[in-house]
Amino acid sequence: MNYIAVDWGTSNFRAMRVKQGRVVRTVQSEKGVARCPREQLGAVLRDELMRLGDDYNEQLPVILCGMIGSNIGIVDAGYLTLPVSFHDLVARGIPLENVLPNPVTVRPGICSREEHEICRGEEMQLAGALTNGEARVFAAVGTHSKWITVDREQKKIVSLRTLMTGELYHLVLNHSVVGKGLGEQTFSDDIFQKGVETAITIARGGSTLLSELFRCRGRYILGEFDAAFAAAWLSGLLVGHEVLTGHTRRESVCFIGSAVLLERYRRVCQLLHLPCTTLAAEDAIISGLNEVFENAV
């Protein structure tokens, strides 16, 4: 399995040289799809791949995934409509010609048309996660957390749900009065837990998320906790709210994400006595792209 994988999102670009199924070199930048004029995306791709140096050659297959295959990307690769078979999830993508001398394919996303849900990028993490363990419920957590359910017997993806936890956290903390004037933030597990406890109150009908978002400001203004812990409390509130909204309670959820986020989701599940497992996003996406490569050759 020798190829180049490109995970190209809205804000960031990352290319990985894969040898025998393992990443041997990575280059990345902030040249996300939304940060580059669409007509320049081909040139950006060529320039970024040149940074791989000796790990680049023109015969290597290149697999593009993420927002590069969206309606603001280099080509609109479309969406596979749920239910999606595991086979179709890793089938050969859309060929892209006249951009590189390499054979290039672009991955489609997945969608639930009835529920107006779309997913692009995280489906490759899911493809990898399916090869690790027997979970049936997955949550690729981050800016827009994707909660995905699969039917192992039928080998199909059957449901998709987006929870905008990461983006809401960023907006409230950086672009609302709640975060106005806050200084440097420090994480506190105790304050994070207090945020989770407030999420539990919301789930039991004792308050609402819209009210508690503003009350984050009231809590530090009125001295319940130091202003330096506002982000920790808000994180506990929103991650707790997401888990309480998405977790089935009946079976374990496999969380996929960065080390920092996985620790917070693991902590919330521990506090709520809910079963979970975790998988690093880096490991998941390469496992998924390896499956794509094997299926395409």
Highest CATH level, class, for 3-120? alpha beta
Residue-wise pLDDT tens digits, 79-102? 999 999 999 999 989 999 999 999
At 281 the three-state DSSP class reads: helix
Least-confidence region, from 139-153, 197-211, 281-295 = 281-295
pTM: 0.94
Residue-wise pLDDT tens digits, 211-236? 999 999 999 999 999 999 999 999 99
**Domains 3-120 and 165-280 alike in fold:** yes
Domain ranges of the chain: 3-120, 165-280
| CA pair distance 210, 174, nearest whole angstrom | 17
What torsion, rounded to 10 degrees, do the Cα atoms 34, 40, 45, 51 define? -100
What residues contact residue 28 under an 8 Å CB cut-off, 6+ apart?
12, 13, 14, 15
The CATH fold of domain 165-280: Nucleotidyltransferase; domain 5 (3.30.420)
What is the pLDDT, as a whole number, of residue 51? 96
Question: Across the chain, how many H-helices and E-strands are there?
Answer: 9, 15
Residue-wise pLDDT tens digits, 119-155? 999 999 999 999 988 999 999 999 999 999 999 999 9
More confident residue, 166 or 297: 166
At 282 the three-state DSSP class reads: helix
Peptide bond into 103 cis (omega under 30): no
> To the nearest whole number, what is the mean pLDDT of the chain?
95
